[in-house]
Amino acid sequence: MTTPLRRRQVLGLGFAALGTAVAAPAVWNRLQRSASSLRPATLASRGGVAELELLAQSSRSTIPGGPAELLTYNGRSPGPLLEVKAGDQVRLRLRNGLNQPTNLHFHGLHIPPTGTGDNVFLTVPPGGSTEYAFRLAKDHPAGLFYVHPHQHGLSADQVFGGLGSALVVRGDLDRIPEVAAAHESVLVLKDYASSGGQDAAMGVGRMLGREGRLLTVNGEINPELPIPSGGLLRLRLLNASNARIYRLALEGHPLVLIATDGGAIGTPEPLKELVLAPGERADVLVQGNQTPGSYRLLNLPYRRSGHMGMGAAEERPRTLATLRYAGAVAPLPLPQTLIPVAALPAPERTRRFVLAHAMGMGGMGGMNHAMGGMGGGGMGMGFQINGQAFEPDRINTRVQLGSTEDWLIVNDDVMDHPFHLHVNPFQVITRGGRPESQRRWKDTVLVKAGEEVRLRVTFRDFPGRTVYHCHNLDHEDMGLMGVLQIEERGV
Amino acid sequence: MNALTLRLLPKALSLLLTFGGALAVSSGNVAHAAQASAPALTPVTAYRTASCGCCKGWLQHMRANGFVVRDVVVADLQAIKRRLGVPNRLNSCHTAEVAGFAIEGHVPAADVRRLLRSRPAVAGIAVPGMPLGSPGMESPYGKEPFTVLAFTRAGTISAFSRHPQ
């Protein structure tokens, strides 16, 4: 979707590293030529240092039927794939070419929430730039993470408009032989408003969270995923949409789950369907062991309001991508085990977070720009956690560094809320009172309308102020966020 | 009003519409015609789930505009929507019934009044989802334009009114 001219412009910006990093077997190289655009441009680290630069700007869209303008990083939506290794020093300069403030969130990374780390309280004004700088721990889990704007009041506009990049951290999981032998494709799932602008008229507005009618994978409509007979495909899925919840199924093939948000799971788990809420990631393996042919990767209908039926504009499965058999290789096996997910210590306390939409004082902190100077807040409909809408200067929850807590997330609303916690990964203990099939590292969990989810989290390593919120970003912008202060013991 | 009556109603209503909405064409519709002349007194039965925060706001809006509203909390709202013929893709968080018409979602009282006056051959009117700024959805976070859609039992959907016009 990026024009040759834009590519040259991007190169002219002087990136230290540009190019793909993974060596592929010859058969994959031949196959990839037919789908080269499926590989997003990659900005990778070298020699333990990642010098990265993202320019946020508005660009002309080339997606058929899409909006005339997209918000892009380096001329691309989704933005370039960022690829770093555990232990790397990361320096990422964000340049703001938009006409409104923006910033970055390093979704899922275990790095400090302060200073030049995953500090969502930083703001880069129009025309400005800032450098995010941090070191990833040597034992940082390998996984698929997500870099996107987190400017309160504008997050949804900017992500729905097109901003967001996948971030791969290389490490432990990538060294498991069966996983290393698989061919890897990062698939960024993103929906865009159609040029007709009919989306909101059918009820999928900001209150439910905006969905676009155009479904894309890496900015393309129904791209091809080549697989040789006997081959193993590692699909690394990121839901980079504003509000859309994907319910994924691949015709004729189970999706063998090997990693969730925060990295590897203990044992591969074949799934018929995979539900992925905004901000969630999953790594799945697909074995090329069926009759050669074409198989559709489908997005099945999903209702984000449970039994209410709202937000069900689509009642039929839609094709996201097509798996196509081509060539053959000696059959590659699935891994039998992956990386154990350790049980967390017993919780020192349990907190309860009730999510709802309600009439109240709108949490207008930080919203003044978005509201065209309306400012000052006011009564009306918005979202709340425990009866409070987000205020950037109000700490809602104080926890002790090093402590473990259970958080009971209660969705008392008529619509689903994907709950996201920054900085520290958690494990889901129960969902609707039922235990999970195995331990998984998560940073975003879908809490369905009327459902209760118990998660367990240890606040490791990094003191400071951060947030938890609904990752339906329209909901976040309308107050469904709280401030978390991680305090050093004895302070 | 049972489901059978509801299915027959659109035909009767289309006849009514043909005659300008002012004539009662059968004894069964006399009551409706009478209500149409005094819509403010037409009773509204509103169905919602217990946890809905914005449904109550719409009820208040309707009462403030002279409607008598019966507030019914139900567990299975979908069953009500099916009975009244609300298409899935037009669903909102509450469903009401007035003079045999379905009113889905945050429909302005003025549109309900016009529906009762004009009595088009439709099963009801809907505002899908929960547009910010619609009645009951007044919000400091802004306003979204929205369209009130009319729908028939056969699933035909057409624009009834636009806000802002």
Interface confidence, given as ipTM, is 0.77
Rounded to 10 deg, the angle between the B109-118 and B30-37 helix axes is 130
Residues B94-123 as b/e (b if ≥16 CB within 10 A, e otherwise) read bbbbbbbbbbbbbbbbebbbbbbeebbbbb
* DSSP-assigned beta bridge partners for residue A275: A247
Q: Which of B57, B90, B144 has its CB closest to that of A200? A: B144
Q: β-pairing, A224-229 with A255-260?
A: unpaired
Structure tokens at A490: 């004895």
Q: How far is CA A73 from CA A104, A153, A217, in A?
A: 12, 20, 16
Break chain A into its structural domains and give their ranges: 4-170, 177-328, 349-487
Asked if the model's pLDDT at residue A345 lies above 80, the reply is: yes
Q: How many domains does chain B have?
A: 1
Q: How many residues does chain A have?
A: 491
- pLDDT, residue A31, reads 40
Please check whether residue B146 touches A, CB under 8 A: yes
> What is the domain class of A4-170 according to CATH?
mainly beta
Domain A177-328 coded CATH 2.40.70.10 = no
Rounded to 10 deg, the angle between the B109-118 and B55-64 helix axes is 60
Residue whose C-alpha is closest to residue A211's, from A318, A104, A342: A318
Asked if the model's pLDDT at residue A353 lies above 70, the reply is: yes
Q: How far is CA A221 from CA A117, A190, A217, A321, B44, in A?
A: 35, 10, 6, 7, 46
Structure tokens at A94: 């964000």
- DSSP calls for B20-86: TT----SGGGHHHHHHHHSGGG-EEEEEE-TT-SSHHHHHHHHHHTT-EEEEEE-S-HHHHHHHHT-
* DSSP-assigned beta bridge partners for residue A467: A483
Distance (Å, whole) CA B66 – CA B118:
18
Asked if the model's pLDDT at residue B51 lies above 90, the reply is: no
Distance (Å, whole) CA A382 – CA A310:
17
Q: Which residue has the tokens 């063998």?
A: A256
- pLDDT, residue A412, reads 92
Question: Does residue A41 contact residue A70 with C-beta atoms inside 8 Å?
Answer: no
Please check whether residue A251 touches B, CB under 8 A: no
- pLDDT, residue A380, reads 85
A33 pLDDT tier (thresholds 50, 70, 90)? very low
Asked if the model's pLDDT at residue A418 lies above 60, the reply is: yes
Chains A, B: CB contacts under 8 A, how many?
117
A349-487: CATH topology is Immunoglobulin-like (2.60.40)
Using DSSP's 3-state secondary structure scheme, residue A4 falls into helix
| Contact residues on chain B for A377, CB-CB shorter than 8 A | 140
- pLDDT, residue A312, reads 54
Residue A225: burial class (beta carbons within 10 Å; 0-12, 13-18, 19+) = buried
DSSP A369: T
A28 pLDDT tier (thresholds 50, 70, 90)? very low
Distance (Å, whole) CA A377 – CA A460:
35
| Contact residues on chain B for A305, CB-CB shorter than 8 A | 91, 93
Please compute the mean of the pLDDT values over residues A408-427 and round it to a whole number. Answer: 96
pLDDT, tens digit, 9 for 90 and up, residues B75-107 = 888 899 999 999 988 989 899 999 999 999 999
Would the CB atoms of A359 and B128 count as touching at under 8 Å? no
Asked if the model's pLDDT at residue A127 lies above 80, the reply is: yes
- Distance from the Cα of A367 to chain B's closest Cα (Å) equals 9
| Contact residues on chain B for A313, CB-CB shorter than 8 A | 89
Which domain covers residue B67, as residue numbers?
A: 3-163
